[in-house]
Amino acid sequence: MKTSTVLVLVAFVVMGMDMAYAWLPVHTTQQKRGACPEVRRGQFGICVEACSGDQSCPREKKCCSNGCGHVCTAPVFKKGDFGRHVKHGKDLDKHV
């Protein structure tokens, strides 16, 4: 075989490996702080999958459902998200 033919075949193999790597699933275990905003009943957003997990969103944004698809959204924080102890919606740091 000629050198140019070998180089072309190597290029195709490398491109195929790159494309196969691009289709590997992303790790969804990496979660960012906060929670996704609640989607109200009857509320629908654009039907597009713009993200595939929190790690695919920039900065502090999370990958959240918008009622039809998933988009990067600013998270919401509950009282317990900043160091207070909360169990089932009750603030355990309050003295009753």
* Domains of the chain and any CATH numbers: 3-91 (4.10.75.10)
What integer is the mean pLDDT of 45-53? 92
User: What is the per-residue pLDDT for 92?
Assistant: 46
- Which residues make Cβ contacts (< 8 Å) with residue 32, sequence separation at least 6? 54, 57, 60, 61, 62, 75
Do 32 and 75 form a contact (C-beta atoms < 8 A)?
yes
User: What is the per-residue pLDDT for 78?
Assistant: 79
Res. 50: pLDDT tops 80 = yes
Q: What are phi and psi of 52, to 5 degrees?
A: -130, 25
Per residue in 58-70, pLDDT (tens digit) is 999 999 999 999 9
Which residues are registered as beta bridge partners of 73? 62
Between 66 and 43, residue with greater pLDDT: 66
Which pTM was predicted? 0.52
What integer is the mean pLDDT of 89-94? 48
Mean pLDDT computed over every residue of the chain: 76
d(CA 6, CA 11): 9
Length of the chain: 96
The maximal CA–CA distance of the chain, rounded, in angstroms, is: 84
